[in-house]
Structure 1
Amino acid sequence: MVSLNKTIMRTILIASYIMLIALLTYGLSAIFSYLNTGADRSKMLHTEIAKVEQYLPKIIWQPLRNEGRPMDNENLNTLQNDYLDAWYVKQIAYKTNKIAGIKDYYTESARENLYRFIELNKKNNISIEATTLNHNPNLDFFSEDGQLAVITDKDVTEYKRIFKNDSLLHETNETSTYKIVFLLEDGFWRIRHMVKEQTQETKQTSATISTNSLNIKGINYYPQATPWDMFGDQFSTDTLAQDFKIIKDAGLNSIRIFVQYDDFGAAKVNPLKLKKLLQTLDIAKEHNLKVVLTLFDFYGDYSMMNWTLNQRHAEQIISAVKNHDAILAYDIKNEPNLDFESRGKQNVIAWLEKMIDLVKTMDKKHPVTIGWSNTQSATILLSKVDFVSFHYYEDLKQLNEAITSLKKQIKNKAIVMQEFGLSSYNGFWKPFGSTEEDQANYHKMAQNIIAKNELQFMSWTLYDFAKIPKEVVGRLPWRKRVQGHFGFINQNRETKPAFQYISKE
């Protein structure tokens, strides 16, 4: 028995010794690998910044004619990345009044001023939300030893909101010029001096595009088999061609389609999705249909730190489609007023305003609108949009009055009832719902009101749908079933009585 116990103890000791040697070997290997490959900055930084995903202001370097040593592309890219990261961590610090990350992008002397400013704001319960939207740097000097660089960044577009005790004190748009001195420390460019040489508060205005010739008689469109997934794996040009013929033959001249932000790749747009979008526009053109393109569908985060990512997304979409003959207009966002309560009305409106400015800068030919969910919100940013769009799912008996009120506030701009309709579902989950006959009467009445008030229109929607994603109306079956029966054509691809009123003509 004693011999057995000794054997067990000896086995345990040997196993422990082997495990200890293995752990020591692994540790030494990791240290050796680290020393031979150099430090990974993502593990050094407090903020673990991934700028590609978090901050992408538009940056355009002026031609390199600097004094001193010539700057190669590799060094210039490193300088640019560290410069933008420095802006980003400063913006985070000013918003949170925390200093994490500052020392990674600013030299010891530079960060002292930042620390004092942050401490003062913290003491007075002041926070600053800010972002830059574009930079135009010029390299003035690059030292012969490659350790010092000086740039002038002209016409930096900045947007700021200053809060005290969580209440907005001041909001400003600025165009500024900065002089920045960098030192190369530990292989990274850190800001030593950053001086704002001049600043000008700007109020950006956008020219309004005339919509006197606008004549929208259209419909919101998704393929029947793939609602809210129009550009997915089941994308079919044959289906689009068949459906667009139905729409054109019904007397309509336009469709409204949707680009979903995340589905299209967010800040880095998926080329395959763009290709499918352009194919859709090609087929629309073949059938003499114009397209209202709704951007940022299923997107609801209007935080300032994401603005640059959103703008890079919009740039890629607009650049791809702006010269296509089928494009009629851009709808910046579907029903953004529904996000007022959860995201903050000021945040949503500021985001919309900046996005309108960007789109109008890129495409001066096509008009811009916003798809408000009701008439009450439809005049928000009236001076910025080219025509007014609203959705209406309320009682049609109140529509005339709502339009009269709206027209008193809108002068010389077209008004489009961009979504309206009635579900014909009256099954188990809503036994006292509307019938197909009720739906037909609804559209007959709607078209009479549209004609009387000289409105333009886009009804909801061509088809009944068998499957409704939970992101649209949630998981509750009575909501999903109702949402699936707004179409003029049922799930058997038979026209419903309402089809005869899909257009007045």
Structure 2
Amino acid sequence: MVSYNKNILRVIVIASYIIIITLIIYGISALLAYLNTGADRSTILHTEIQKIDQYLPKVTWAPLSNEGRPIDSENLNKIENNYLDAWYVKHIAYKTNTTAGIKDYYTDSARLNLFNFIELNAAQNISIESTTLEHHPSLEFFSEDGQLAVITDKDVIEYKRIFQNELLVLETTEISTYKIILLLEDGFWRIRHLVKESTENYDPIATAISTKNLNIQGINYYPQATPWDMFGEAFSADIITKDFKTIKDAGLNSVRIFIPYEDFGKADVDAEKLEKLKHTLDAAQANHLGVVVTLFDFYGDYSIIDWTLNMRHAETIVTALKDHKAIVAWDIKNEPNLDFKSRGKDMVVAWLKNMVQLVKSKDQNHPVTIGWSNTESASILKDKVDFVSFHYYEDLELLQDAIKTMKAEIPNKTIVLGEFGMSSYNGFWKPFGNSDEDQANYHKKAQEIIATNNLQYMSWTLYDFENIPKNVVGKLPWRKDAQKQFGFIDKNGAKKLAFKYISGQ
């Protein structure tokens, strides 16, 4: 019996020894594999940077005719990805004056120049915010061993803002040509040389689109049950079609709708949401209504490093819809001047200028505007947009003089009153508010001013709403409740007194 127990114990010891040795060998093998490959980006990228989420400039390769070895699409894509990553980490490095990520995308000699530049900027308290918007590379040479590539990158559009002691000292957009040598090291295509061969200032003049036939007499629109969530789970083409018929029968000819940036997928536009947007345009066309599409709703960052994502978003939507017969115009952004204080006027205006240029480059047939929240901002970028839009919720007695001032500052350009209206709320939170009759008198007076000044217009809005998202006007109940009752139709579906003056007819 004792001998039997000893044998069992001996087996257990031997088995344990084998298991321990196996685990040790496996651990050593895994470590050696990790050290030898050096190509797993998820484990060796030290920058907390993911280009696919952060940086998507437009890249257009020239047809391949390189010397040396022919290159396949997989290798070309890898070169492109690592090359753009190199640009991105350099942008971050110049902004923060840190060197994180540089060694992953630049060889020893190339990174030395970058380190020296960053050290100099840090010493002088200089920072550079920049991005590239377009690249047009051509592959000049790909070595037989697949370890070296030479690229000429033409017409690189680069936007920069240079700060010293936190003050903006230079803002510029350049178009340049670069010569680049890349080496394959540890699975990365790293930049060995990057030389700027030529550069000049870049300020393209987009072709102006005539607005002589523009005749906007419309309304800002959300379905009653889904305000600020028009394309969500409760989307209904039938409800929208019915509402558009109501709008058309009221004597209006157009609607203004809003495309929320994040909800539509940001740079990777949600195909299902885009299809819902197309159904909305179809419903408008069926009811003989034109549509002003307002982009970038609820977007408020404007960071330079975000620009390429914004561009891919706008490019996708505009390219998909530009030939739809219901499109009347593109509104780049709703009330961007409200972000001047938090984001900086210069930054917001630079972003708008870039987006106007992008949209006009993708659609040469439909005019572009910006929905300013007041008359004071209306002249900003007046020479870049095709018509000027402003919103007005102030005293109507002051509107006539404001229009006169705008027309003096913006001669020979169509002006559209893009939002106006009055809430009929006079409940608990605002006992001395306006009545339905006050609202009707307001719209009657507004239409008289519109007619006198030959303005085009889009009022706010078709319906009273039950619920207002807190990110629209905040949490304060007196603001939310007032926002609920700007409509021409009440929450029960009855036309309010103001409906008589929904159009100027």
Please say if residues 42 and 49 of structure 1, whose CA atoms lie closer than 8 Å, have aligned partners that are also in contact.
Answer: no
Q: Distance in 1 between matches of 2:24 and 2:129?
A: 43
Matches within 5 A, 1:88-487: 88-487=88-487
TM score, norm. by length of structure 2: 0.94
Query: What SS is found at the alignment partner of 1:89?
Result: helix
In structure 1, what residue type is equivalent to 2:295?
A: L
Aligned to 1:13: none
Task: Give the CA deviation at 1:43.
Answer: 2.2
Gaps of 5+ in 1: 1-17
Task: Give the CA deviation at 1:336.
Answer: 0.2
Q: Distance in 1 between matches of 2:422 and 2:382?
A: 28
Query: What SS is found at the alignment partner of 1:176?
Result: strand
Matches within 5 A, 1:26-37: 32-33=29-30, 35-36=32-33
Q: Distance in 1 between matches of 2:183 and 2:33?
A: 25
Query: What SS is found at the alignment partner of 2:498?
Result: helix
In structure 2, what residue type is equivalent to 1:165?
A: N
In structure 1, what residue type is equivalent to 2:297?
A: D
| 23 and 86 in structure 1: CA distance in 2 versus 1, 3 angstrom threshold | farther
Percentage identity across aligned positions?
66
Q: Distance in 2 between matches of 1:186 and 1:60?
A: 27
| 182 and 429 in structure 1: CA distance in 2 versus 1, 3 angstrom threshold | same
In structure 2, what residue type is equivalent to 1:192?
A: R
The superposition leaves residues 211-243 of structure 1 with CA deviations (integer Å, 9 ceiling, x where unpaired) of 111111000000000000101111111101110
| 72 and 424 in structure 1: CA distance in 2 versus 1, 3 angstrom threshold | same
Q: Distance in 2 between matches of 1:420 and 1:27?
A: 74
Aligned to 2:13: none
| 270 and 399 in structure 1: CA distance in 2 versus 1, 3 angstrom threshold | same
Query: What SS is found at the alignment partner of 1:480?
Result: helix
In structure 1, what residue type is equivalent to 2:185?
A: E
Please say if residues 157 and 202 of structure 2, whose CA atoms lie closer than 8 Å, have aligned partners that are also in contact.
Answer: no
Q: Distance in 2 between matches of 1:49 and 1:25?
A: 37
Task: Give the CA deviation at 1:469.
Answer: 0.5
In structure 1, what residue type is equivalent to 2:116?
A: R
Q: Distance in 1 between matches of 2:19 and 2:235?
A: 54
Q: Distance in 1 between matches of 2:137 and 2:380?
A: 36
| 23 and 287 in structure 1: CA distance in 2 versus 1, 3 angstrom threshold | farther
Gaps of 5+ in 2: 1-15
The superposition leaves residues 431-458 of structure 1 with CA deviations (integer Å, 9 ceiling, x where unpaired) of 1111111100100010011111111100
For structure 1, which segment, 335-344 or 424-433, has the greater mean C-alpha deviation from structure 2 after superposition?
424-433
Matches within 5 A, 1:75-86: 75-86=75-86
Q: Distance in 2 between matches of 1:26 and 1:163?
A: 55
| 442 and 30 in structure 1: CA distance in 2 versus 1, 3 angstrom threshold | farther
| 233 and 35 in structure 1: CA distance in 2 versus 1, 3 angstrom threshold | farther
| 340 and 30 in structure 1: CA distance in 2 versus 1, 3 angstrom threshold | farther
The superposition leaves residues 143-178 of structure 1 with CA deviations (integer Å, 9 ceiling, x where unpaired) of 111111100000101111111111111111111000
Q: Distance in 2 between matches of 1:391 and 1:102?
A: 47
Task: Give the CA deviation at 1:23.
Answer: 11
The superposition leaves residues 79-101 of structure 1 with CA deviations (integer Å, 9 ceiling, x where unpaired) of 11100000000011111111111
TM score, norm. by length of structure 1: 0.94
Over aligned residue pairs, what C-alpha RMSD do you find?
A: 1.8
Query: What SS is found at the alignment partner of 1:323?
Result: coil
Aligned to 1:497: 497
- Moved >4 Å (runs of 4+): 21-39
| 251 and 83 in structure 1: CA distance in 2 versus 1, 3 angstrom threshold | same
Q: Distance in 1 between matches of 2:246 and 2:19?
A: 71
Count of paired positions? 488
Please say if residues 86 and 106 of structure 2, whose CA atoms lie closer than 8 Å, have aligned partners that are also in contact.
Answer: yes
The superposition leaves residues 390-414 of structure 1 with CA deviations (integer Å, 9 ceiling, x where unpaired) of 0000011100011011111111111
Please say if residues 42 and 48 of structure 1, whose CA atoms lie closer than 8 Å, have aligned partners that are also in contact.
Answer: no
Query: What SS is found at the alignment partner of 2:182?
Result: strand
Task: Give the CA deviation at 1:32.
Answer: 4.3
Query: What SS is found at the alignment partner of 1:194?
Result: strand
Query: What SS is found at the alignment partner of 2:394?
Result: coil
